[in-house]
Each structure stands twice: as C-alpha cells, then as structure tokens.
Copies of this chain bind each other. A is one copy, B any other.
Amino acid sequence: MEDGFNTVSIIGVGLIGGSLALALKGRNLVNKIIGFGRNKERLKRACELGIIDSYTDSLKEVCEAELIVIATPLGVFEEITSEMAPYLKKGTVVTDVGSVKEAVVNKLEKIMPQGVYFVGTHPIAGSDRAGFEHAREDLFEGSRVIITPTENTNKSAVEKIAKLWTKTGASVEFMSPAEHDRIYALVSHLPHLVSFCLVNTVSEMDKNFIKYSGSGFKDTTRIARSSSEVWADIFMMNEKNILHCLEIFLKKIDEIKKMLSEREIEKIKKFIEEANQLRQKID
C-alpha cells in the first residue's frame, strides 16, 4: 500500500495494540493485521471482533509483516525482540508503544539486525482499563504521541511512523528517550505510584472507610485500577527518574506538613493557590 502497510503485526493485542489495529483498519492504512499474544483464546476472540485478521503463536510468522508493533508490558520486550531477531527481514520497521523509552530504545536498537529499523514511540492515550474489549478506533484522536529517535534511528522509518500516528488523529512530538523518561516519570509514573499508595493507606487504616469516599477520592485513585503487570515493569524500568521525582514530592509533603504543624494558614493558602494555578493550565 502506498499510504499504509500491506501487513502489520501487533504483539500484545490489548487496549493500545487493539486500538491501533482498529485505527489502522478504519482509515484503510493496512490490508492485514496479524495478532500475537500469549493467550490463544483471547486472540481468537479479538479476531472474531474484527480487531485483528489472523493470529499466530509463531514469532517467525509475525516477522512476515512490514511493520511490527510491540504492545506488551515492558518486561518482555527484550525477550520477544531477541526471539524475533533471526527472522526479521531487511527494511522491516519495528516500533513499540511502551511508557518508558531510554532502557527500551537502548536495548532494542542493539538487538535489531542490520537493515531493520527500530523507532520508539509512546502514545499518551489509554486508561486504567486493560484489554482489547476497551479498544476504540478513535482512542488516539486528539492525543499526543511521543516519538523518541536517537542518532541511530533511520530517518525514513521515523517519518513512516510519524505519518502513521498522525493519520490516527494524534499529534506527534519528538524528543530524546532520556527526556521522555524524565517528563513521564513526573506527569505519569509518580501520580500512579502515589495513587497506589493512597489506596493502600486506606487498606492499612480501615478498608471499610473506602465506602465513604466521594468523587474526589474516586478521581484521585482511578489510575490505582491500572494493571500491576504493566506498572511494575514501568516502575522498574524508569526507577531512577521516578525516585528523583518522589524526592521532590516528599519535599512538598514535608513543606505542607510543616505549615500544618506550625498552623501557618496563609502559607497553606499560598501552597494551594500555586497548585490551583498550574492545574488550571490543563483544564
């Protein structure tokens, strides 16, 4: 296809993989989508729902595609890519949709055989709801997709990937893998960690109290429903940046704790107003 792909393989047909499949199909950007995953029954179901056209348990078969999208939890990226390596054909583009980029890009670039092009991406979409049952053709419309090329990344492969995401309705932005990881440690990984800790604070104090929560608690902890498998990997792979953000967060907690203990109401108001103002920028 001139303006798309003949065959695309999606490894990990979940919310993001499934939504990308639907977006590509809906825009006639692909003739055939092959799904790969660990659960045959679920792949069959995704096939029945028309999200993918066929499925396989052979990574060799996956490599028949011109574009391979890795959309599994981060922890298995290396293993999958290493297994694929012998079958990857020259000119194939491999991309991923993982939430951490530096470790991923470093490792996967090294595994790629000569003439196979890896491009790291991170679509800022999705939700705490996992699984292709929640996949939506319009998931990426109006969203942001970060593409993280390095000095080793093939420029025409980057262009192809950027074009693909633009066609799904996303706006594409480029940055280095390291910058991506610094930013998303702060605006995504830290809030997830904090959200898990908020719920587990209730868990330790009195589980029954949770029934008294209102919309504030519900919103603040919505992302605490996120997959343990996906998020344990993210935490592990962006540990250094997350720990740094956590330090600053703990400093902020200390600041307001001190204001409270010293009954500095005007300082507390100022602290809250600072949060008000910055938060309003993303309304």
Contacts and interface: CB of A to CB of B under 8 A. Distances in A.
Interface centre among A184, A206, A276 (most CB of B within 10 A): A276
Interface stretch (A23-31, A158-166, A190-198): A190-198
Nearest to A128: B216
A191 B220 contact: yes
Contacts of A263: 236, 239
A80 interface: no
A158 B279 CA distance: 40
A201 interface: yes
B187 A217 contact: yes
Chain A, interface SS category? helix
B191 A275 contact: no
Contacts of A214: 124-126, 143-144, 187-188
A108 to B, nearest CB: 20
A87 interface: no
Interface stretch (A9-17, A51-59, A88-96, A222-230): A222-230
A260 B248 contact: no
A242 interface: yes
Given A229-B269, A252-B200, A211 B282 contact: yes
Copy number in the complex reads 2
A231 interface: yes
A243 interface: yes
B245 A260 contact: no
A281 B203 CA distance: 12
A145 to B, nearest CB: 11
A256 B197 contact: yes
A230 to B, nearest CB: 9
Best-buried of A233, A249, A271, A272 by chain B (most CB within 10 Å): A272
Contact of A272 (B196, B250, B279): B196
5 closest cross-chain pairs (CB), A and B: A228-B272, A199-B275, A197-B252, A187-B213, A196-B275
